[in-house]
Amino acid sequence: MILSHRWLGRHLQDMPDPDVVVRGLEQLGLEVVGQSVYGDIFDTVELVEVISRTPHPDADHLSLVDVRREGGEVTRIVTGANNGFPGQRLWYAPPGTTLPDGRTLEVRDLRGIASPGMLLSAEELGYQAESSGDLWVWSGDEALGTRFSSVIGGADTLYEVELTPNIAQYLQSVRKVAEELSAIWNIPLVPLTEAFAYQSAPLAVVEDRERCSLYGVVRMRLRPGGVSPLWVQTLLRAVGHRIIHPAVDVTNFVMWDLGEPLHAFDARRVDLPIVVRSARTGERLTLLDGTDIELEGKDLVIADQHKVLALAGIMGGKDSGVSDDTEEILLECAHFEAPGIFKSYKKHNLLTDAASHFGKGTDPLAVFQAPVLAASLLRETQVLSEVGDSALIGDVPPERLVAYDPARIRTLMGTKWDDAAINEALQKMGYQLVGPSAVVPRHRHDVESVYDLAEDVGRYFGLDSIPQKLPVQTAGLAERQPAESLDEVLRDAVAGAGYQEVITRTFTDPELDARFDTGAVGDAVAVTNPLRDEERIMRRYLLGSLMEVVRYNRSRHDLPIRIFEVGRVFSRAGEEVREERELAVVLSLDPLSGYPPREEPSIYDLTGLFDYVCERMGWDAERRSFVGDGPSFLHPGRSQALVLNGREAGYVGELRPRIGDLYRVRRVGVLVLRYPSLSIGEVSHPGRPSRFQTVDRDLSLVIPDTVAYGAINDAISELDIAELRHTAPVDRFEGDFGTSLTIRLTFQSDQRTLTDVDVDGAVSRILAALDALGVALRQ
């Protein structure tokens, strides 16, 4: 909502500076998101008098008009206007002036004669004037050189305020804002006029009293050709309205001034009495803006004896609106039930100014103020010739009470305000206090309980006036959640191993998600209203998202990829959504360029990462061959299943190069692990270091092609030799005898120094076991 400083000043007996106004508005909860000025562009538009008018020598439709300016200077302007005769006083915009439509004027050459700037019509200034010609002939007696900005009262400060939904329910009105400012500033209000005395002429019938508790109609006779008062036009222009017709201008003015939207019907188009009723199925209405809508039973309409005139509280019909030749209007002043209007305007997508007032909440008492204000504005320029008969159907809704206890407000706000101070605050904010209750002002649709009263007391005093404290009595030992702490340890472990964490969007493209489908989970959860097509499901796997990061980076930089994410993945389980935890790591395996050189990345970096991470986490984990075929997107000879707590929980391996190619990375290793939230690890129990020396034995073995290192390692482990602390491969090469593998066995005892006899015994047991695999010592 745009609030005009000057308009606020209409209601307050004294008006502070704009920065005070901003602070006041924000104290009340009206966030000021912008400030601007209206009228300063008129600072160069000056009043001049025509001294002569002669035809243009070379153009029939143009005239040369000499005007006298402030100080007697004469300027010649070329104009095509049909008026501007000697003695007439006009508004002149010299070169450099910017008009409301955005044009900046300069010296123009019109058929060989230089014309500096323009003589203006009212429309070019954004106004309407009663004038018999194109140019605005000014009838005021201001001195020559008077600026247009000064006849409209000077520049006005505008505040763009954001209305929260609760405030929109009652504060879309300059008067209501002024009332609250008056309360917090202690500046008296300008009193409202007396209420309008409605007659009870048979002008209207209300069928649906629930949705329209008050319906007033006032007949007014108008003089065609009139315009709204200049100050009304100025305030309306300032807040962004066009000037249309005095009867329409007045409804706009009253809407912002009192928060009460009015509607003017052309009396000629209405077959009285008016009926306020639900729409009938199939009824149609052509709105003021020309669109044709189909109505249904839930819409409240204003009809006459034959047709629908308007969609109640939202927009009038085209056929019954006022036009230039309108001589009599029926002015509607109503109070509608807000939720019904809200639903209607949402359904028809018609957020008009009226709808945003009626659909959120208006003041029923404004129904009595509005006709008085409208009539006085129309009378000011003799547009109104007579107020005719009128009617008011319905009753003012009763006042509501809420329980009131100042002690409760003190407790909620944590302050020491005494009862008298709290009472005064609420009374200033418009409440009447009756024993243990507060009478809620009729326009305060937002107030439900003592909590709202507490808020108003807070707004009255200002929230920053509340002394702060820390709820130390509530402090206990803060706890973390084991499952999420585990995620954090995992993040630290993988990042510590040299991988950059990324955070990717959880929604993705079904095709990309399917590319890394392992068949381990159910269907995807679809987002029914995605922003983009490629974000229309919730991801079931992390890897697709990570590979998009690879693609994004590889298409911009030639750089090695070492990334991971610990995040959530989603899948359907019947009518439930399963949310699981996953770790995914991606490592590009192509050779590293650069100098000084670095160790080449290898898939063993990822298998090693898995072993390290599981040790760090204390997880019971192992790598093993896939049961059956592994996922088809993996390199069959360079991949393994990851097993956690005895269950297959992921995989590690190279992507098939043709999949990597899709991401601009031919050789790429991936590690994906879906881990349960309760896989809390074992704590290490490292014991004491042994005092005794270790003994290393290297065995050079000849191994058949079919025997993997893992099989040799398993065979040795199965022997369960207590003193064998460590087994590791140290060398491998191919010779004419086959493949040679050297393994290093490290022995150590906690009790004593091992002898050659001890070690030889163990080694011969190991060789015997390996013999079963066809593995022998190289001679």
| Stretch touching other proteins by CB under 8 A, among 261-269, 327-335, 381-389, 500-508 | 500-508
User: Is the backbone of residue 290 left (phi > 0), alpha (psi -120 to 50) or beta?
Assistant: left
Q: Which of 14, 17, 33, 186 binds other proteins (CB under 8 A)?
A: 33
The tokens describing 519, both together, are 């068949």
Contact 61, 179 (CB under 8 A): no
Contact 442, 397 (CB under 8 A): yes
Q: Which of 52, 75, 150, 166 binds other proteins (CB under 8 A)?
A: 166
In terms of Cα–Cα distance, which of 596, 583, 778, 744 is closest to 672?
583
What's the closest the beta carbon of residue 316 comes to other proteins, in angstroms?
Answer: 24
Q: Which of 32, 421, 643, 721 binds other proteins (CB under 8 A)?
A: 32
- Name the residue type at position 682: E
Closer to other proteins at the Cβ: 135 or 614?
614
Closer to other proteins at the Cβ: 102 or 165?
165
Site string (399-418) toward other proteins, x via CB under 8 A: ------------xxxxx---
Site string (438-457) toward other proteins, x via CB under 8 A: -----------x-xx-xx--
SS (H, E, C) 592-630: CCCCCCCCCCCHHHHHHHHHHHHHHHCCCEEEECCCCCC
Name residues contacting other proteins, limited to 698-727 (CB under 8 A): none
Name residues contacting other proteins, limited to 40-79 (CB under 8 A): none
Judging by DSSP bridges, how do beta strands 776-777 and 738-747 pair with one another? unpaired
Please, how many CA atoms are within 13 Å of residue 609, restricted to the half-sphere of its CB?
A: 32
Name residues contacting other proteins, limited to 301-360 (CB under 8 A): 339, 342-343, 360
Name residues contacting other proteins, limited to 592-631 (CB under 8 A): 595-596, 598
Closer to other proteins at the Cβ: 529 or 706?
529
Name residues contacting other proteins, limited to 507-536 (CB under 8 A): 507, 525-531, 535
Largest pairwise CA distance in the chain: 132
Contact 441, 431 (CB under 8 A): yes
Closer to other proteins at the Cβ: 342 or 692?
342
Name residues contacting other proteins, limited to 231-270 (CB under 8 A): none
Closer to other proteins at the Cβ: 466 or 719?
466
Site string (722-741) toward other proteins, x via CB under 8 A: --------------------
What's the closest the beta carbon of residue 349 comes to other proteins, in angstroms?
Answer: 13
Name residues contacting other proteins, limited to 576-595 (CB under 8 A): 576-577, 579, 595
Count residues binding other proteins (CB under 8 A).
95
| Stretch touching other proteins by CB under 8 A, among 77-85, 165-173, 380-388, 424-432 | 165-173
Question: How far, CA to CA in Å, does 280 sit from each of 2, 296, 336, 495?
Answer: 37, 6, 19, 67
Q: Which of 37, 190, 495, 728 binds other proteins (CB under 8 A)?
A: 495
Q: Which of 40, 58, 73, 501 binds other proteins (CB under 8 A)?
A: 501
Q: What is the C-alpha to C-alpha distance for residues 363 and 370, in angstroms, rounded to an integer?
A: 11
E runs forming strands in 144-283: 156-162, 204-206, 212-222, 262-266, 274-278
Closer to other proteins at the Cβ: 103 or 346?
346
Q: What is the dihedral of CA 44, 45, 50, 52, to 10 degrees?
A: 60
What's the closest the beta carbon of residue 659 comes to other proteins, in angstroms?
Answer: 20
Closer to other proteins at the Cβ: 237 or 674?
674
By CB under 8 A, tell whether 757 contacts other proteins: no
Name residues contacting other proteins, limited to 464-493 (CB under 8 A): 464, 466-471, 473-481, 484, 488, 491-492
What's the closest the beta carbon of residue 559 comes to other proteins, in angstroms?
Answer: 6
Closer to other proteins at the Cβ: 196 or 404?
404
Q: What is the C-alpha to C-alpha distance for residues 314 and 287, in angstroms, rounded to an integer?
A: 10
Q: Which of 197, 434, 503, 722 binds other proteins (CB under 8 A)?
A: 503
Q: List the beta bridge partners of residue 387.
A: 220
What's the closest the beta carbon of residue 725 comes to other proteins, in angstroms?
Answer: 28
Question: How far, CA to CA in Å, does 487 sit from each of 224, 492, 566, 644, 677?
Answer: 77, 9, 7, 16, 9
Q: Which of 497, 721, 754, 767 binds other proteins (CB under 8 A)?
A: 497
Q: What is the C-alpha to C-alpha distance for residues 429 and 407, in angstroms, rounded to an integer?
A: 18
| Burial degree of 210 (CB within 10 A; 0-12, 13-18, 19+) | exposed
Q: Which of 13, 54, 139, 164 binds other proteins (CB under 8 A)?
A: 164
Closer to other proteins at the Cβ: 465 or 694?
465
Cβ atoms within 10 Å of 722's Cβ, excluding its own: 11
The tokens describing 771, both together, are 């013999």
- Tracing tokens 């409440």 back to the chain, one arrives at 431
What's the closest the beta carbon of residue 511 comes to other proteins, in angstroms?
Answer: 17
Return the ∠ at Cα 708 (arms to 705 and 713), rounded to 5°.
Answer: 140
Closer to other proteins at the Cβ: 281 or 473?
473
Contact 306, 280 (CB under 8 A): no
What's the closest the beta carbon of residue 12 comes to other proteins, in angstroms?
Answer: 21
Q: What is the C-alpha to C-alpha distance for residues 606 and 613, in angstroms, rounded to an integer?
A: 10
Contact 504, 545 (CB under 8 A): yes
Name residues contacting other proteins, limited to 546-565 (CB under 8 A): 549, 552-553, 556-557, 559, 561-564
Cβ atoms within 10 Å of 225's Cβ, excluding its own: 10
Closer to other proteins at the Cβ: 31 or 622?
31
Name residues contacting other proteins, limited to 273-302 (CB under 8 A): none
What's the closest the beta carbon of residue 15 comes to other proteins, in angstroms?
Answer: 21
- Tracing tokens 């005895």 back to the chain, one arrives at 646
Q: Which of 105, 168, 267, 301 binds other proteins (CB under 8 A)?
A: 168
* Cα-to-chain-centroid distance, residue 639: 46
Site string (9-28) toward other proteins, x via CB under 8 A: -------------x---xxx
